[in-house]
Structure 1
């Protein structure tokens, strides 16, 4: 669809409607000259003509705007997301059209706006969370930040511990994640706007998950690293899992922080691997401490 041709079409329609409005006003005045008793109603007739022309013209304007939006914006989104956004756009456009028609009829919109201010504030507050979820869901789906089938780690101060699992559904209000524990959780999309760090676990040939372990610094970090690496290698060799990369990342006050880069193929195997790594570091720490 060529948007320029649609704009030209709209201009032609508006010009035709303007001509029709002028003709109708002229005809109304001609009728009044023959029937003077109708003169006191001419003002209302003029308002009715203007409102009708505005309504018809507004309908064509909205139709063309929706066509342009559908092609250049909504056509690139998923069907469910596009449908919801289209609904909100329609509500907004037709609400504006109704206000314009009322104005053409001579209705005092200022008084109506003041009278509905309290109700508008109440409705706005009630809808704030829903609209925030809808906006977030739209941004997440349209930008392809998160989509069904993605294996992810979601970190946020809102829920504390990272959420690790496979994305099963990205909806308008909620996103569903099947965690490594097997349960499905629904996260409000509003949590994604500036509050969540997404980490996709896909590597070149496998899934990759960086895992940090904190150990008391009252034993040498090098010895803990060496022992833990050997224990992990022994444990994982029995279950035929690729050996992770193990690093001494940093010292933070009275603790040593190690990073383990885990490579795995299936999400449901990650819990078992984490269990092995935790046990290996725990054993390495106590073995090193008992050597003192």
Structure 2
């Protein structure tokens, strides 16, 4: 029996070494093929994850069978206790460990989830649900080509404090990595992008475009504000990299009036400067018109301005 035991241990070690070699080799092989078929690049992670899943659960199956054989042999010998009841526990631990290993491999942190007991099981089940959802979301995003690396885009969702604007760096299994116009790299969950977000490409022909909404108190004529702001923006547009801009009276309510400004530019690095200057121009225009209205109201009704 001892020889059989060590034989199984040797087989398990060989399987581990072979599994690591297969994963490494698969990565190199896929990279080589992707040189000639670049369309396969977005699927690299999915292929490696699929291979890893097969290996991990195949390895778990081998361990499960090995332990099952030894427990069966030990329980079948006369005068020995029946250990078959432990087999169910071992099997749950083995496959639970395989699931945890796979989740850790794809980047899910289960440190807080592996507490044990009912709470740990519930947390793991929720983690699995979110992981499967993220996997499907990532597959849809990468395969559909809606979001592509190196493309400037804006992302808006009630989940974010403000719109995320920047260049897409990568669409992975769980997240979409974006280099924002603030110079920060942020990871947007794929599950948040599909069904809960609006994302728009900034590419408009051979240039980029974006629009901002600017709100005011409705106590000043919007047309005068637009005229004043347009003059101010035209004076500085060449200095800030602004190609073209158009303003529209967008909406009006009891306590707010809104102007939509659509602007065109070429350099995403100047996005923040352009938005700042446009917003500042409209704020200054508002107060200029408002102060002029206040001064005119103080003049005698018969005076000539």
Q: Fold-level match, TM-score > 0.5? A: yes
2:42·2:171 contact (CA, 8 Å) conserved in 1? no
Q: 1:249: how far off? A: 1.1
Q: Secondary structure at the match of 1:244?
A: strand
Tell me, in whole angstroms, the C-alpha distance in 2 between the residues paired with 1:86 and 1:143.
Answer: 23
What's the CA shift string for 1:73-111, capped at 9, x where partnerless?
A: x96952223332455578789999xx9xx9xxxxxxxxx
Deviations 1:167-203 (A, max 9, x none): 1111112211111111111122221221111111000
| Larger-gyration structure (1/2) | 1
TM-score computed with the length of structure 1 as normaliser = 0.62
Taking the aligned partners of 2:160 and 2:154, their CA distance within structure 1 comes to 13
Partners of 1:95 and 1:81 in 2: how far apart?
21
Residue pair 2:225, 2:282 contacting (<8 A) in 1 also: yes
Name the SS of the counterpart of 1:146 in structure 2.
coil
Task: Classify 1:90/1:216 alpha carbon distance in 2 versus 1 (closer, same or farther; 3 Å).
Answer: farther
Q: Which residue of 2 aligns with 1:78?
A: 43
Q: 1:251-270 alignment to 2 at 5 Å? A: 251-270=252-271
Question: Which 4+ residue blocks in structure 1 deviate beyond 3 angstroms?
Answer: 74-77, 85-96, 115-123, 237-240
- Residue 92 to residue 215, structure 1, CA distance change in 2 (3 Å): farther
Larger deviation, residues 231-240 vs 219-228: 231-240
Deviates more, 1:216-225 or 1:234-243: 234-243
DSSP 3-state at the match of 1:259: strand
Aligned to 2:156: 155
Given that residues 155 and 198 in structure 1 are in contact (C-alpha distance below 8 angstroms), is that contact kept between their aligned partners in structure 2?
yes
Q: Compared with structure 1, are the counterparts of its residues 178 and 240 closer, same or farther at alpha carbon in structure 2 (3 Å cutoff)?
A: closer
Q: Which runs of 5+ in 1 are unaligned?
A: 1-73, 103-111
Q: What TM-score do the two structures reach when normalised by structure 2? A: 0.60
Number of residue pairs the alignment of both structures matches: 214
SS of equivalent residue, structure 2 residue 275: helix
Instruction: Tell me how far 1:121 sits from its aligned partner.
Output: 5.4
RMSD between aligned alpha carbons?
Answer: 3.5
Structure with the larger RCO, 1 or 2 (CA within 8 Å, 6+ apart):
1
Residue 247 of structure 1 contacts residue 259 of structure 1 at CA under 8 Å; is this kept in 2? yes
3-state DSSP class of the match of 2:204? Answer: coil
- Find the aligned partners of 1:84 and 1:175 in 2 and give their Cα distance: 17
Distance 1:182 1:168 in 2: 12
Give distance in 2, aligned partners of 1:290 and 1:187. 44
Q: Unpaired segments of 5 or more residues in structure 2?
A: 1-38, 69-87, 97-117, 294-305
Secondary structure at the counterpart of residue 135 of structure 1: helix
In structure 2, the partner of 1:59 is: none
The answer on 1:230 being equivalent to 2:195 is: no
